[in-house]
Structure 1
Amino acid sequence: MNRWILSYDDYDPGTERLREALCTLGNGYFATRGAAPESPAGGAHYPGTYIAGCYDRQAAEVAGRHIDNADLVNMPNWLPLAFRAADGEWLDIDHAQASGRLLSYRQELDVRRGVLTRLVRVRDSRGRTSRVAQRRIVSMHDPHLAALETTVVAEDWSGTAQIVSALDGRVVNAGVARYRGLPEAHLKHTKTAQPDDPELLLLRTRTNSSDIGIAVAARTRASAQTAATRRSEHGWTGHDLTLDLREGVPVTVEKVAAVFTSRDHAVEECGRAALAAAADAGGFDALLERHTSAWSRLWRRCQLSVDHAEVQRALNLHIFHLMQTVSEHSVNLDAGVPARGLHGEAYRGHVFWDELFILPFLTMRFPQIARALLMYRWRRLPAARRAAAAAGRRGAMYPWQSAADGREETQRVHLNPRSGRWLTDHSHLQRHVGLAIALNVWRYYEATGDIEFLGEHGTEIMLEVARFFADLADYDRSTDRYRIHGVMGPDEYHDAYPGRDEPGLDNNAYTNVLTAWVLRRSLDALAALPEDRRKELRERLTLTRQEIIRFEDVARKMHVPFHDGVISQFDGYAELKELDWAGYRERYGDIRRLDRILEAEGDSPNHYKASKQADVLMLFYVLSPGELDDVLRQLGYEHGPALAARTIGYYLPRTCDGSTLSSLVHAWILARTDGDTAWNLFLESLFSDINDAQHGTTGEGVHLGAMAGTVDLVQRCHAGISTRGRTLQLEPRLPTAIGELRLGLRYRGHWGIDMTCRQDLIRVTLRPGATSPIRVSYRAEETEIQPGATWERPLQHGRTEPAQVDVALQGPRNGLWSRPGVTDGRGGDPSAE
């Protein structure tokens, strides 16, 4: 098996949109789905091109409510290229297959080189057989360029053939069926004069409300061209090429496209910039050479290998799609990381909390990219402050869903397709997104030591998030505790109490514990700054000593609910009913969307101890055992392995994993105690997109958080890497299925750290040229590694905290770990549903 190739040896219209998402090519600036160049949107196909951070807002009426939605815009399609033998039918894969004239078909994605190849052999209605080979790139060298090379061979005929190479701006956002009926058109077209160069085409458009100018230029050349004409329609422009083909002689057509917007730096006018880039670009082979060289450099930085071919292939694919969504070209952009990447239109391209799962991998390899993603949050700090003020609070209240300007983009209604009813959606009450942002800032600083970012941007984010949660917490004199009311935790199946009119829950444990942690870390961040900067920041934020005392008091007295010797998901959780898990599985089979099932029955998951995804257990993912113990100890609560084991064992069987992120979190937690189950859950997450375990949702865009999270799990869980304090801490938990794990890292300015984990040893090498040594901690040993030196120890096996978790005794889940039908970790469906 080639660990770098994703291939398909036939054509299947039923899975074409899945393949288009998995075969997306991008470079961090823009990405294009792996659609057939000759196929317009509709039926099996959905060509889509998306530029990072380019949104447009449209208003609509949904279920009697006025709403507006900001969408990541489907940009003009640069792909269109159609072929036919003279007087024959145009190449149409679906028609050729249906008529039995599709003789062979192969599609291959080479993730090492970033090249998509398609080989088609087809016979037309007049019996002429043609072979078409196409190679496609979206340049990782030049973020504005893409190229398509098409080679045609007339196998058993000679004569003329026609090629149409076009730019199509008549596209709409129609990639998600449940959004149809809402406004889809986000582009308006301007009449564009075509350039003097007959090889070039230019198309200019603008987004409707955000008024972003977009220009796409294309240069088309053929090796056996006999005639060419150019024609334009409203929103469309193209070349008609006539080729002279001889039997058995290949003819090649090269199409190079350039994409620019009015948001780009150092550009006077995006149309002229696009034309210049397309005209000056070299041929396909020259572009391919620079492109593959850029990917080679990226892969050296992304070194992570295991001696398991199928796992390695999936990990390579996941890293590939992560780097296509956020690359070194993202550093100068103002863009977050959409939950579905730049691969489709699900969730409208919104930014959730997925950087929680994405940033750890980037921080240890491309800290400048991680910094850029954190800057997306910092630039939207004013919007978060306005949101907090509108809610009557101090500080910054970040939105659950973010897009262009940082306002709350979360849907307020969603459709249950089982019942056909429109339901109020309370997902915006997931205030914990701000806590995740603050945590990401601190983890970035721990790994990089970037005191400049912490001083100029990071501490301000952390303090404003801490200020909001300190203000959100109400003091209860009767218990001398602080409480947070009216929020939702990560588990989106619980958004209100049974019988209570107002939405929200009280004292969600994940939110409260993480609040206490963030309050302390925000003060640590402030203390880490030079005295002058610390004073400036306190003055600018009007952060008084009284407010700091409030931070300390809330962090010391935050309420955490408990019941039956475990941490409660929220106050009142213990009073909820147990669900008849066996009965629902027997009646429905796949119950991951239990919320839809219960609502269609006239019921609600709010009545039951049944979670969509990890909630309390997220604490064991975001905090190390020592950190969680420290928080609970400072709050005056029981802590340690016994509590952890009980809590994990309690919630695992009461969670239906309606999220790929949930399986990932559970795999992480169980890696400490139940390696076999953890490995199976890891594999479930690893292959969920490749196998389309979500029954079609991957075709709407890959689940980037889960993809990055699987890679991060190998790095931080299997290799056991953490960056607490100024020490690289190692606690490997290598699965028995993996004999050797190798990875390269960046840590606090050190570019070259190589680590090897085997079942019998752990080895760390600091490459020569480093400016200073690094400190490494393993078990009870802490040592310093000098540049050019290697540290090695026998790998000590044995279980680590928490203690053994007995899930089977709980019953409801009982061995049903690997099931099809995973859905994503969001609050219902977007407002179009």
Structure 2
Amino acid sequence: MSRWLLAYDGYDPDWEGVREALCTLGNGYFATRGAQPEATADGVHYPGTYVAGCYDRLASRVAGHTVVNEDLVNAPNWLPLTVRIEDGPWLRLAALAAGDGALLAHRQELDLRRGVLTRLLRFADAAGRVTRMAQRRFVSMDDPHLAALETTLVPENWSGRMEVRSAIDGRVTNSGVARYRLLNGSHLVPDGEGPHGHEAVWLSCRTATSRIGIAVAARTRVDAAAERRTHDERGWIGQDMTVRAQESVPVTVEKVVALFTTRDRAIGEPAEAARTRVDRAGTFDELLERHVPAWDRLWHRSQLDVDREDVQRVLNLHTFHLLQTVSVHTVELDVGVPARGLHGEAYRGHVFWDELFVLPFLTLRFPEIARALLLYRWRRLPEARRAARREGHRGAMYPWQSGADGREETQRLHLNPRSGRWLPDHSHLQRHVGLAIAYNVWRFYEATGDAEFLAEYGAEMLLEIARFFADLAVHNKKGDRYEIRGVMGPDEYHDGYPGRDEPGLDNNVYTNVLAVWVLCRALDVLALLPADSREGLRERLGLTGEEITRMRDVSRRMRVVFHDGVLSQFEGYADLEELDWDGYRRRYGDIRRLDRILEAEGDTPNRYRASKQPDVLMLFYLLSRQELDSVLTRLGYPPGPDLIERTIAYYLPRTSHGSTLSAVVHAWLMARVDGDEAWEFFLESLRGDIEDRQRGTTAEGIHLGAMAGTLNLVQRCYAGISTQGPVLHLDPRLPTGLGHVRLGLRYRGHWGIDVTCSRDRLRVALRPGVASPIEVACDPDRVTIEPGGSWETPLADGRLPARHA
């Protein structure tokens, strides 16, 4: 199969949700799931359109409690287009598959290179009339407000009356995730609808509480003489077009759609803007001619090639969905990185810590997008400060789940589908999300050298986060160490101690060590800034010399817990019971969601040495060996030989991989330990969404962090690229499954770097016409490459030979 094509044959109701998520089309402003245009939300299909940053908040009554949830809103469905022959039923694939007529052929193809979804359908109605249908659709990467659908119908063995219905449906709700359906999902309030000229209709609504106006206009054209009738209901409007079809003569229907909201710039009223844009829009083919080159430009900047077609196809799919969620159009928006993209309603469209996995790829190719995503966090710094003050602390405490305004959106109750019980949710105690934001700020500065960003925005975020963690740390009983108590780590299976009423854990090693790393970077920032900027920032923040002294003190005396010669996930971890892993696998098979299994049995993962995903091990993913050694040595815990390898070996068999991020992180970790096992983890991370390895979660939205994580693995692990100041560092480690990796990069103002790794050679070239030379380090070599020049060094089976190591 082509590296640029994702194709599905036949009709499988059990997999329609996965196909719809993976065939989503978007442009960073809005995205629409790959549902069939004639489908409605019926338990099999789920048409969904999501506008970046369009959130709404509703109250629901659950388990005797009133809970308030904010959702990324399912916007009006612009897709509806169906057909019927004579007075027969409107086309529905499910009905055909059930025997009401016959489904003769069905194929869906997603062209990743061009951003076009094609559907080929052949069916017979109950009277034996056979019709062939071909559909193409795209969401314009050229104009972020436009989308288009083209449908060509060919009567194979009949002539007669054919009706085509094209509509806009504003009656949709947020109901795409089964476990949320007891919650209020009616976010859209109709404002009006009507015809516009002869060919178009429009619909306007607003969100229930955030009062964001959303308007959609649709222009439908038929290339045959047609009688046209417009009809509407509150929140729905459509046109029926009747044509006299002739055997073997194609009839083409073209639907062009414009979508605007009150959050948009340079418009008056959204409905007027949508009507005007759809009036001025060209034909389907004219719009496509501008859409495809826009994707070409993105692919040119996203070059990441390997020599295995099956791997390359999935990497292309992951790049495609990343750029549909956060594209060049995102730069003008105030949005973050939704954990499930703009592809579904899982996690309610919230922003977690997924920038950790997304920004490395973007920063080295689209630094302007990465910068915009960091500014989303900067704009919510005042809310993070208020959150810290409410907890009695200085600085900024960012929420685990963020949405419109940056308040904590994490649910306080969650449903275990296995037991049917609603349970307390303490995941808001994952304070480490602030550390991830500070980490991203520093890594962005390292890779771009954007001193203006650091001075204007980044330093303020980094210092306020460091300030919070310095204040969060408290002296232990002896007074010789600082501790951080009552938090959760990335693991998520452990939210407290057995027998203790208060939730939270003490001295989670990931939180403590990364906090020290962030404190050190905050001190570095103060040293980096020019004196006037530094003093101005300190004055603006009210940052005292006493606080800076405390930061320095905490960064030298934070407590780190060990047991059995490895880093302890948290204090008391060594006192937990060992889980009977083999027994649970025999009983349940798939134990990725071990927490749900244990709770359904009346037990809790808090009792066991069992993790959902990497926790301690995340330190080895984020920090180089030298950085980690430096932190531990600074704290007075010299790491000693093989600490990393021992810790990996300890936690790997105690991890259930209940998150798609788990395989990504383990693929990175094992690349330094066991190449064959690392390759298996990498393949597992590639399969995560395309095979729905988490059993039902992909239909609710793709896992954007895991997708971006695979791309980062290729560039950061296999090509060995690291960002350390003005010099580009490389330490390639090709896995056994690959013989060739090629990347195009942008680094610190250099916009034409090509890196090629094969089993026996590393080559770095700087394209002609760039502004200045670049310095490259590949130990022990350190060279300067001029524009148009290149440099090569030998590799031994994809790695630096011993003389370099």
Gaps of 5+ in 2: none
Report which stretch shifted further, 639-648 or 55-64: 639-648
Q: Are the aligned partners of 2:17 and 2:45 in contact in 1 as well (CA < 8 Å)?
A: yes
Offset at residue 118 of structure 1 (A):
0.4
Query: Contact 1:363–1:370 at 8 Å: present in 2 too?
Result: yes
Alignment of 1:707-786 (within 5 A): 707-786=707-786
Question: 8 Å contact 1:672–1:799 — kept in the other structure?
Answer: no
Q: What letter is aligned with 2:112? A: V
Q: Which amino acid aligns with 2:147?
A: A
Query: How far apart are residue 799 of structure 1 and its match?
Result: 8.3
- Matched position secondary structure for 1:688: helix
Alpha-carbon shift at residue 627 of structure 1 (Å): 0.7
Give 1:516-665 correspondences, 5 Å limit: 516-665=516-665
1:626-676 CA-partner distances (Å, limit 9, x unpaired): 111111111111225411111111111111111110111111000012110
- Distance across 2 between alignment mates of 1:225 and 1:378: 56
Letter in 1 for 2:571: D
- Give the alignment of 1:406-417 within 5 angstroms: 406-417=406-417
Whole-angstrom distance in 2 between the partners of 1:192 and 1:115: 29
Partner of 1:482: 482
Q: What SS does the aligned partner of 2:724 have?
A: coil
Decide whether the 8 Å contact of 2:734 with 2:798 is kept in 1: no
SS of the residue aligned with 2:468?
Answer: helix
SS of the aligned residue for 1:681 comes to helix
CA displacement, residues 359-403 of structure 1 (integer Å, 9 cap, x when unaligned):
000000000000011011001001100000000000000000011
Q: Structure 1: which 4+ aligned runs deviate by more than 3 Å?
A: 796-801
Secondary structure of the corresponding residue to residue 682 of structure 2:
helix
Asked if 1:679 corresponds to 2:690, the answer is: no
Q: How far apart in 2 are the matches of 1:716 and 1:509?
A: 24
Asked whether the equivalents of residues 732 and 799 of structure 2 are also in contact (C-alpha less than 8 Å), the reply is: no
Length-normalised TM-score, structure 2: 0.98
Where 2:182 maps in the other structure, the secondary structure is: coil
Cα distance between partner residues in 1 of 2:373 and 2:658:
27
For this pair of structures, how many residues does the alignment match? 800
Task: Say which SS state the counterpart of residue 53 (structure 2) adopts.
Answer: coil
- How do 1:41-60 residues align onto structure 2 when only pairs under 5 Å count? 41-60=41-60
Indicate whether 1:175 and 2:176 are aligned: yes
CA 1:627–1:800 in 2, change beyond 3 Å: closer, same or farther? farther
Q: State the structure with bigger RCO (CA 8 A, min sep 6), 1 or 2.
A: 1
How far apart, in 2, do the equivalents of 1:415 and 1:201 lie?
41
Letter in 2 for 1:172: T
Instruction: For 2:589, give the aligned amino acid.
Output: G
1:118 counterpart residue number: 119
Percent identical pairs in the alignment equals 67
RMSD: 1.3
Q: Provide the residue aligned with 1:327 in structure 2.
A: 327
CA distance 1:158–1:649, shift in 2 (3 Å): same
d(CA) in 2 for partners of 1:120 and 1:539? 67
Partner of 1:314: 314
Q: Distance in 1 between matches of 2:512 and 2:548?
A: 18
CA contact (8 A) 1:673 1:800 kept: no
- Check conservation: 2:732, 2:798, Cα contact below 8 A: no
The structural deviation recorded for 1:122 is 0.7
1:193 Cα deviation (Å)?
A: 4.4
Distance in structure 2 (CA, Å) of the matches to 1:16 and 1:85: 25
Deviation, 1:692, is: 1.0
Q: One-letter code of the match for 2:78?
A: W
The amino acid of 2:307's aligned partner reads D
**Other-structure match for 1:805:** none
In structure 2, the residue corresponding to 1:181 is in which secondary structure?
coil
Q: How does 1:300-311 map to 2 (within 5 A)?
A: 300-311=300-311
Matched, 1:795 2:777: no
8 Å contact 1:487–1:506 — kept in the other structure? yes
**2:107 equivalent in structure 1:** 106
Counterpart CA distance in 2 for 1:612 and 1:527 is 39
2:164 counterpart residue number: 163
Q: Report the 3-state secondary structure (helix = DSSP H, G, I; strand = E; otherwise coil) of the residue aligned with 2:333.
A: coil
Instruction: Give the Cα–Cα distance (whole angstroms) in 2 for the partners of residues 420 and 171 of structure 1.
Output: 26
- Contact 2:759–2:799 (CA<8 Å) still a contact in 1? no
CA shift digits 1:244-303 (9 cap, x unpaired): 221111111100000000000001111111011111110000111110110011000000
Residue 261 of structure 1 is matched in structure 2 by 261
Q: Quote the Cα distance in structure 2 between the aligned partners of 1:383 and 1:528.
A: 27
Mean alpha-carbon deviation: is it higher for 13-22 or for 594-603?
594-603
2:491 corresponds to which letter in structure 1?
A: D
In 2, distance between residues paired with 1:602 and 1:175? Answer: 29
Superposed counterparts of 1:68-147, under 5 Å: 68-99=68-99, 101-147=102-148
What does residue 152 of structure 1 align with? 153
Q: 2:645, 2:673 within 8 Å by CA — same for their partners in 1?
A: no
1:428–1:800 distance in 2 versus 1, CA, 3 Å: farther
* Cα distance in 2, alignment partners of residues 212 and 404 from structure 1: 12
Per the alignment, residue 66 of structure 1 pairs with 66
Look up the match of 1:829: none
| C-alpha distance in 2 between matches for 1:176 and 1:656 | 23
Shift of 1:564: 1.2
Structure 2 letter corresponding to 1:795: L
Amino acid at match of 1:621: Y
- Tell me the distance in 2 between the aligned counterparts of 1:638 and 1:377: 35
3-state SS of 1:194 partner: strand
Could you give the per-residue CA deviations for residues 56-97 of structure 1, whole angstroms, max 9, x where no partner exists?
Answer: 000112222221000000000000001112222221111111
Report the counterpart of residue 215 of structure 2 in structure 1. Answer: 215
Residues 477, 416 of structure 1: alpha-carbon distance in 2 compared, 3 angstrom cutoff: closer
**Matches of 2:447 and 2:205 in 1, distance apart?**
42
Counterpart for residue 395 of structure 2: 395
Alignment check: 8 A CA contact 1:225 1:241 kept: no
- How far the C-alpha of 1:477 sits from its partner, in A, is 6.1
